[in-house]
């Protein structure tokens, strides 16, 4: 065995275009099946654990390779039938080939594995799923390209900027898909061109549509590389006819060479500057650049459960870090004495303050600042919250923020995470700073058919 290990440090055991058979033993974070040949990993689209497949090697790198399925010798009982192949090949829904109960088990296992990697023995509850795990996304940002002289909308093939045209995004609200298609057809009829990133010519980069799940208010945004949207008034006129729910039609300019989809400059062509939706009995304003959870059905479950696990009391002072437009802050404000939110995005804080006013909430205070810096400042100022909520981006928490929370000495520290890897990493420091994990970690399937998983972890301060 030692001899084999020495060999494969210098020699890769597979070649491009080679055909071979293998058993799928795992799924990657990108939803690809994993086959190992002499401990060398090969990643394969549309292959799930328990299958034996014949594959062709498509790309070979130093430490891993990619392959495609040529035939299935043994099919997994967990394979979902009649799945739209575009959803899998583009990465719209990389787990759509897996039955839903198996998806939930996979996500629970994913969280368990991340904690094992940092040598923490934790209990992870079964993943909470959805009754209907498709057609749930309330927002789409769809790229536009000219293909054979025709303006098309769709999704990029995995790992490329090659657009695969599609009318059905599988995980999006059908009314959102309908809005994208209607907008695409109007642009085609009026002869607008798609932006070409190689030549830096053309007009339309993306179509964005978002819809209130409860309000049924619809917003359409056309993102252009140009400062002017040709035929803007005519587009607005035609969209009003095609989309009865339309409340807001906006032109967004993004003329930078960037992977960021939306620019910061918006012009309302027709209707309102924003739409509204409801969450946990509160009304929220949603602008074109607002961050608002794309699955409001499970978001309500997520926030309700987080508040319940926090054991909130009417006398509590609470801090909500990474507060965005105030969704968590305002949804629990009526359960506590005072709540502070901190968010670095200025427009989000403006929305949060507007949302607080619209909902007649006067015990919430928002600060525009980088969350780690503000938490350190609050700790230095002597703020002593009873409960701290954090819902950070995928990169997780900074060491400084965790130390600041520790200095504040809250009884309860509730960590809502969208990335089990950074959650597990951060848990090591949180425990070292004088907390313990209270009960089981709860995964929630916020994004069915994808590999993403949300979790709620409650930390309690250990008595000194």
The residues annotated with a catalytic role in the active site are 418
Give the residue from 317, 286, 289 showing the smallest Cα distance to 299: 286
Coil, strand or helix at 7: helix
- Whether the CB-CB separation of 355 and 325 falls below 8 Å is answered with yes
> DSSP letters along 243-310, please?
-TTEEEEEEEE--SSSS----SEEEEEEE-S-EEEEETTEEEEE-TT----S-HHHHHHHHHHHHHHH
- Whether the CB-CB separation of 339 and 333 falls below 8 Å is answered with yes
- Using N-to-C axis directions, what is the helix angle for 399-408 and 371-381, rounded to 10°? 30
Distance CA 95, CA 100 (A): 9
Give the residue from 255, 308, 263 showing the smallest Cα distance to 141: 263
Burial 316-344 (b: 16+ CB within 10 A, else e): bbbbbbbbbbbbbbbbbbbebeebbbbbb
> DSSP letters along 323-364, please?
-TTTHHHHHHGGGSSEEEEEES-HHHHHHHHHHHHHTT--SE
Pairing verdict, β 150-156 and 139-147: antiparallel
Distance CA 38, CA 329 (A): 51
Give the residue from 33, 35, 145, 165 showing the smallest Cα distance to 90: 165
Instruction: Name residues whose C-beta falls within 8 Å of residue 421's C-beta, 6 or more positions apart in sequence.
Output: 114
Return the residue matching tokens 């897996």: 98
């Amino acid at each position: 065995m030692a001899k084999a290990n020495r060999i494969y440090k210098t020699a890769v055991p597979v070649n491009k275009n080679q055909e071979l058979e293998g058993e799928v033993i795992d799924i990657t974070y990108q939803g690809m099946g994993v086959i190992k040949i002499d401990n060398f990993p090969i990643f394969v689209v549309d292959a799930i654990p328990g299958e034996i497949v014949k594959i062709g090697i498509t790309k070979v790198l130093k430490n891993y390779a990619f392959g495609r399925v040529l035939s299935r010798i043994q099919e997994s009982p967990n394979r979902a039938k009649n799945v739209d192949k575009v959803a899998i090949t583009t990465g719209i829904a990389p787990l759509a080939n897996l039955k839903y109960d198996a998806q939930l088990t996979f996500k629970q296992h994913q969280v368990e594995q991340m904690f094992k990697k940092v040598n923490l023995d934790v209990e992870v509850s079964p993943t909470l799923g959805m009754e209907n795990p498709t057609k749930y996304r309330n927002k789409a940002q769809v790229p536009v390209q000219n293909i054979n002289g025709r303006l098309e909308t769709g999704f990029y093939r995995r790992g490329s900027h090659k657009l695969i045209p599609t009318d059905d995004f599988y995980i999006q609200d059908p009314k959102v898909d309908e809005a994208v298609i209607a907008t695409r057809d109007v642009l085609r009829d009026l002869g607008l061109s798609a932006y070409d990133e190689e030549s830096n010519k053309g007009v339309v980069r993306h179509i964005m549509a978002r819809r209130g799940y409860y309000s049924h208010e619809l917003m359409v945004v056309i993102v252009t590389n140009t400062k002017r949207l040709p035929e803007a008034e005519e587009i607005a006129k035609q969209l009003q006819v095609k989309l009865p729910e339309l409340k807001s039609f906006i032109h967004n300019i993004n003329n930078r060479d960037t992977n960021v989809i939306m620019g910061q400059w918006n012009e309302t062509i027709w209707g309102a500057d924003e739409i509204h939706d409801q969450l946990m009995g509160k009304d929220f304003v949603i602008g074109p650049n607002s961050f608002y959870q794309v699955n409001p059905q499970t978001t309500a479950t997520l926030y309700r459960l987080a508040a319940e696990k926090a054991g909130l009391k009417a006398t509590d002072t609470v801090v909500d870090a990474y507060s965005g437009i105030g969704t968590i802050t305002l949804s629990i404000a009526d359960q506590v004495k005072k709540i502070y939110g901190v968010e670095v995005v200025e427009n989000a804080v403006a929305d949060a303050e507007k949302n607080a006013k619209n909902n007649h909430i006067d015990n919430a205070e928002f600060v525009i600042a980088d969350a780690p810096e503000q938490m350190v400042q609050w700790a230095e100022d002597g703020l002593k919250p009873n409960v701290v909520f954090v819902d950070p981006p995928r990169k997780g928490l900074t060491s400084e923020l965790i130390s600041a929370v520790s200095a504040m000495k809250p009884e309860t520290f509730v960590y809502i995470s969208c990335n089990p890897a950074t959650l597990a990493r951060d848990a090591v420091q949180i425990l070292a700073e004088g907390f313990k994990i209270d009960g089981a970690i709860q995964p929630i399937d916020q994004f069915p058919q994808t590999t993403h998983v949300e979790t709620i972890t409650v930390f309690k301060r250990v008595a000194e």
